[in-house]
Amino acid sequence: MSGFELLARSGSARRARLELAHGVVETPTFMPVGTAATVKGLQPRELRESGTQILLANAYHLRLRPGRETILAAGGLHRFMAWDGPILTDSGGFQVFSLQDRRTLDPDGVTFKSHLDGSTHRFTPEDTVEFQEAIGVDIAMQLDVCVKLPASGEELAAAVEMTTAWAQRGARARRAIERTHLFAIVQGGLDERLRARSAQELVALDLPGYAIGGLSVGETREEMERMARFTADLLPAEKPRYIMGIGTVADIAVAVDCGIDMFDCVYPTRCGRNARAMTRSGEFNIRNAAYIRDFSPVDPRCSCMVCTTYTRAYLCHLFRAGEMLGPQLLSYHNVALLHGLMAEARAAIERGTWPAWRDALFAELTRSR
Amino acid sequence: MSGFELLARSGSARRARLELAHGVVETPTFMPVGTAATVKGLQPRELRESGTQILLANAYHLRLRPGRETILAAGGLHRFMAWDGPILTDSGGFQVFSLQDRRTLDPDGVTFKSHLDGSTHRFTPEDTVEFQEAIGVDIAMQLDVCVKLPASGEELAAAVEMTTAWAQRGARARRAIERTHLFAIVQGGLDERLRARSAQELVALDLPGYAIGGLSVGETREEMERMARFTADLLPAEKPRYIMGIGTVADIAVAVDCGIDMFDCVYPTRCGRNARAMTRSGEFNIRNAAYIRDFSPVDPRCSCMVCTTYTRAYLCHLFRAGEMLGPQLLSYHNVALLHGLMAEARAAIERGTWPAWRDALFAELTRSR
C-alpha cells in the first residue's frame, strides 16, 4: 500500500523511495515548511528548482485560515497553492497544545480558542483525518497529544495513552487510504519505556508510516540523538520514518544516521529571513561588516541558483538596506543547501560511504565552530 | 551616437528602438524602479521574464549605500546586482532636494546630511556624472534642481537657470560618452515660458536624451498632461524622451500619447506590497473579502506568470495571513501588467491604431471607476 522501497543501507543510514499520490520522494529528504500554504518567500517553482520533493503545511493553520470551504472550492490544497508535488500536513496537535490556557482536552478531542480571532474550535481525531483527506494531501498526521517538557511520568504516560487511542480512531476514520497516507506519532518524552510502549502500540496499527514527535523541543543534542535512535530502532524497517521539527545541518545528519528518512523544520527559512546563512561549514550572519565586500557565493560549494548568481556582498547590502529580496534569496539558499546535502547523503548511502561522509561533515562543522 | 531609431508613429504616439551598451530597448517602455540596486521583491530573472528591458536605480541611494568602493569592487552596478540589461540611474537631485532643512545649495553643487546616518555629503554636477559613469550605467541623469510646488516664478526661474548650468557642467565632465548616455532634465514647473526656456537651453547641448522632470508631484492629471505634451513637443524628435515618476496605467497611456518613450515609477511595486492589484480595467485591493473565493487570475487578460499560475483567492489569503509571498507575487504581476500594456501599445503604434487602442483603454478605465 505505502509504496515504500528500501534501496540501500550504509552504516545505520538508509536510502529509500517513497511513492505518493503526487509523486515519488527519494529519501532521506528534507521537507520545507509552508505552514499557511506558502513556504515563506519561495514560490513552488523555486522550491522545485531548489530540490524540494515534498513540502509540509499545517492543518491547524489551514483549518482556521483560509478554512475548509475555500480550499475545497479551490479544488484542494495542491491547486490552492499551485504546488503539484507531494504535501504532508501536520495535524496541528503541537499548535493546539501550545495554546496552553486557551484549550481544554477531553478523551474525544480538544477545544480551543483560535490564535487569530479568539473564536472557539474543536478538533477530534476523526475530523483531523477527515480534513486532511478532504484537502487532498499525500501524508496526513494523526492528532496527537503533546506534553510540555519537563513533565511528570504520569502526564507523559497519559499523553502516550491518548495518542494511541487517537491514532486508532484516526485510522478507523480514514476514507482515502490510498491517496492520503496516515502517519502516527510516537510520543513519550525522554522516557525509553514510554517511547517503547508508544511505538509498540502504534506499530500494531500497521499504518503506512511513523513519526517521532516530542523531540527538538529544548533537550540537549545528545538527548535528542539518544531518543531518536532508540525510537527509530523500534519502528518497522519497511515503512518510512519521519522525525518532526529537525532542520539544522548537524541535526539532520544525526537523524539520517539514526535511520530516519524524513525531516521538516522552519529553521532554514526562518534563518533566511534573519540574515543567518547556512553552509557546509557552519552558519554566519550575512549582515556582518565582514561581508560588505565579500564577492564569493554564500557557500562556495553550493551550486544553487542563489550561489551561482549573487554574492555575499549583494546579500549583505540587501539586508543592511532592509530590502525584502535579502530574505527571499537567503531563504532559497538555506533550503537548497539542505536539499543539496540530502542529495549528497543519498549518494553516499548508495555508495556505502555514509559513515565517512557523515564524519567529514561533522569534522568540518566542528572545525568552523 | 545615441542609437535611437524612430520606427513608427500613430497619432501623437511614437514607436522607437534605443540601443544602449547593455542591450536594445523597444519603446514606449516602462522602467521598474530598483532604488537600492533591487526592484523590491523581484529577482533580475523575474524582471526579465515579466518583460523588463531596462530598470532604474538611484545614484543618491547607491552613493550612500553600498557606496562607490563596494560597487566598483564588484565590477560595476550590473555585476553587483546581477542584472545584465540596461540600467538608468537617477542622479538623486530629487532625493537631495527632498531633504529640505538638511541641505544647502550653492552654484557649485549641494551639501546635505545623509538620511541614513546624518553624515555630511556633497554632490556636484561633475561628480554626479563621474559616479554614474564609474558604476557603468547605460543612462545617467544630470544633477538637477528640483523646486517644491507651489513655488514663486523667481524660484522656478532660478532652478531652471541652475539646472541648465549643471547640465552644461555635467556634459563637459563626461569621460564615457559612448557607454553612458547623459540625459538632461527639463524643469520649469507648470510655467510654459520656463519650460520652453529650459528645453531650449538643454536641447542646445545636444545630449543623447531628454527627460521631463518636476511633474507627477501633486498637480492635477490635466495639468500634468498639458505640461507633458507642451514640453515633449519642444524636444528633438530624433532623441529619446523620458518622463520621470509616471506609473499608473492611465498616466502612462497619457505619456505615450504625448510622444514620450520612457517612464518609471515605484507605483506598481509599492501597490504590489500593499495588496493593490493593477489591471486593464482598474485597480482593486486584493485583500478584500470579495476575493476570498475568487479563483480567477488577478487580471483575466494578463498572461504573466502570476496570472497563469495563481488565483486572486490565493493572493488574498497570502495578504490576509501576512505572508511575504503576497507582496512578491502582486509586485510581479503589476510590473508585468505595465510591460504587457506597453507591448500592446507598441504593436498598436506599429499598426497605426494607437488612437483606437488608447480610447478603448480609457473607456474601460472610466467604466470601471
Q: What is the CATH number of domain A4-264?
A: 3.20.20.105
Give the span between the Cα atoms of A345 and B97, in whole angstroms: 57
- What stretch of H or E contains B27? strand B23-27
Predicted local distance difference test score (pLDDT) of residue B361: 97
Q: CATH 3.20.20.105: which residues of chain A? A: 4-264
Is residue B155 helix, strand or coil? helix
Give the span between the Cα atoms of A5 and B106, in whole angstroms: 77
- What stretch of H or E contains B79? helix B77-81
Domain B4-265 CATH class label: alpha beta
Give the span between the Cα atoms of A155 and A142, in whole angstroms: 20
The DSSP code sequence of A24-82 is EEEESEEEEB-TTSS-TT--HHHHHHHT---EEEEHHHHHHTT-HHHHHHHTSHHHHHT
Count CA atoms closer than 13 A to B28's CA, side-chain side. 36
Count CA atoms closer than 13 A to A92's CA, side-chain side. 29
For residue B369, pLDDT beyond 80:
no
Predicted local distance difference test score (pLDDT) of residue A106: 94
- Reported as a single tens digit per residue, the pLDDT across B186-214 is 999 999 999 999 999 999 999 999 999 98
Task: Name the region of A191 (left: φ>0; alpha: ψ -120 to 50; beta: rest).
Answer: beta
C-alpha cell at A217: 523541543
C-alpha cell at B121: 555629503
Nearest to A43 among B295, B321, B325 (CB): B325
Q: What are the start-end ranges of the H helices in chain A?
A: 44-50, 59-64, 68-74, 77-81, 93-98, 125-134, 153-172, 192-203, 221-232, 249-257, 267-273, 305-309, 312-320, 325-351, 354-367
Which residue is associated with the grid cell 549643471?
A: B166
- Chain A positions touching B314 (Cβ under 8 A) are 37, 74, 80-82
Give the span between the Cα atoms of A20 and B86, in whole angstroms: 46
Predicted local distance difference test score (pLDDT) of residue B218: 80
Which of B40, B77, B324 to probe the A interface (max A CBs under 10 A)?
Answer: B324
Mean pLDDT for the stretch of residues B260-266: 98
Among A253, A260, A337, A264, smallest CA distance to A298 is for A337
CB burial class (10 A; 0-12, 13-18, 19+) of residue A206? exposed
Give the residue numbers of A annotated as catalytic, written as ranges: 90, 264
- Reported as a single tens digit per residue, the pLDDT across A281-311 is 999 999 999 999 999 999 999 999 999 999 9
Which residue is associated with the grid cell 545528519?
A: A253
Phi and psi angles of residue B9, each rounded to the nearest 5 degrees, phi first: -135, 150
Predicted local distance difference test score (pLDDT) of residue A2: 53
Band of pLDDT at residue A361, cut at 50, 70 and 90: very high
Predicted local distance difference test score (pLDDT) of residue B94: 87
Which residue is associated with the grid cell 478584500?
A: B288
For residue A369, pLDDT beyond 80:
no
Among A129, A126, A130, smallest CA distance to A107 is for A126
Q: What letter represents residue A296's amino acid?
A: S
Which residue is associated with the grid cell 521538516?
A: A264
Phi and psi angles of residue B203, each rounded to the nearest 5 degrees, phi first: -60, -35
Is residue B23 helix, strand or coil? strand
Mean pLDDT for the stretch of residues B213-241: 93
CA distances from A90 to A10, A58, A62, A137, B163 (A): 30, 5, 10, 10, 63
Give the span between the Cα atoms of A111 and B282, in whole angstroms: 44
Nearest to A38 among B80, B292, B318 (CB): B318
CB A101 within 8 A of CB A111: no
Task: Sheet with A23-27: list strands edge to edge.
Answer: A4-10, A13-20, A23-27
Interchain CB distance below 8 Å, B324 and A295: no
Q: What is the sign of the dihedral through the CA atoms of B35, B41, B43 and B47?
A: negative
- Reported as a single tens digit per residue, the pLDDT across A16-51 is 999 999 999 999 999 999 999 999 999 999 999 999
**Residue predicted with more confidence, A368 or A167:** A167
Annotated catalytic residue within B138, B144, B264, B299: B264
Q: Which residues are CB-neighbours of A34 under 8 A, at least 6 positions away? A: A40, A55, A56, A57, A81, A83
- Reported as a single tens digit per residue, the pLDDT across B240-257 is 999 999 999 999 999 999
**Residue predicted with more confidence, B368 or A259:** A259
Give the span between the Cα atoms of A142 and A96, in whole angstroms: 13
Give the span between the Cα atoms of A1 and A3, in whole angstroms: 6
Q: CATH 3.20.20.105: which residues of chain B? A: 4-265
For residue A352, pLDDT beyond 50:
yes
Q: pLDDT averaged over chain B? A: 96
Band of pLDDT at residue B1, cut at 50, 70 and 90: very low
CB A226 within 8 A of CB A199: no
**Residue predicted with more confidence, B14 or A95:** B14
Band of pLDDT at residue A198, cut at 50, 70 and 90: very high
Q: pLDDT averaged over chain A? A: 96
Q: What is the sign of the dihedral through the CA atoms of A268, A269, A274 and A275?
A: positive
Nearest to A73 among B74, B293, B327 (CB): B293
- Reported as a single tens digit per residue, the pLDDT across A217-266 is 888 889 999 999 999 999 999 999 999 999 999 999 999 999 999 999 99
Q: Give A74-80's long-range contacts (Cβ < 8 A, gap of 24+).
A: A74/B293, A74/B295, A74/B311, A74/B313, A74/B314, A76/A135, A76/A136, A77/A37, A77/A135, A77/A136, A77/A137, A78/A22, A78/A136, A80/A37, A80/B311, A80/B313, A80/B314, A80/B317
Dihedral (C-alpha) B149, B153, B155, B158: value to the nearest 10 degrees?
A: 130
Residue of B nearest to A329 (CA): B43
Among A1, A15, A61, smallest CA distance to A262 is for A15
For residue B2, pLDDT beyond 90:
no
Q: Can you name the residues that pair with B221 across neighbouring β-strands?
A: none
- Chain B positions touching A327 (Cβ under 8 A) are 324
CB B314 within 8 A of CB B348: no
Peptide bond into A208 cis (omega under 30): no
Q: How many CB atoms lie within 10 A of CB B89?
A: 29
Give the span between the Cα atoms of B264 and B30, in whole angstroms: 6
Give the span between the Cα atoms of B292 and B286, in whole angstroms: 9
Count CA atoms closer than 13 A to A95's CA, side-chain side. 19
CB burial class (10 A; 0-12, 13-18, 19+) of residue A38? buried
- Chain B positions touching A33 (Cβ under 8 A) are none
Residue B264 catalytic? yes
State whether residue A62 sits within 8 Å of chain B by CB.
no
Which of A35, A38, A58, A72 to probe the B interface (max B CBs under 10 A)?
Answer: A38
Query: Is ipTM > 0.90 here?
Result: yes
Q: Can you name the residues that pair with B112 across neighbouring β-strands?
A: B103, B121
Band of pLDDT at residue B99, cut at 50, 70 and 90: confident
Give the span between the Cα atoms of B152 and A99, in whole angstroms: 63
- Chain B positions touching A317 (Cβ under 8 A) are 36-37, 65-66, 70, 80
Predicted local distance difference test score (pLDDT) of residue A368: 76
CB B260 within 8 A of CB B84: no
Q: How many residue pairs bridge chain A and chain B with CB atoms within 8 Å of each other?
A: 103
Give the span between the Cα atoms of B75 and B82, in whole angstroms: 11
Give the span between the Cα atoms of B30 and A361, in whole angstroms: 49
Predicted local distance difference test score (pLDDT) of residue A1: 45
Give the span between the Cα atoms of A210 and A240, in whole angstroms: 6
- What stretch of H or E contains B133? helix B125-134
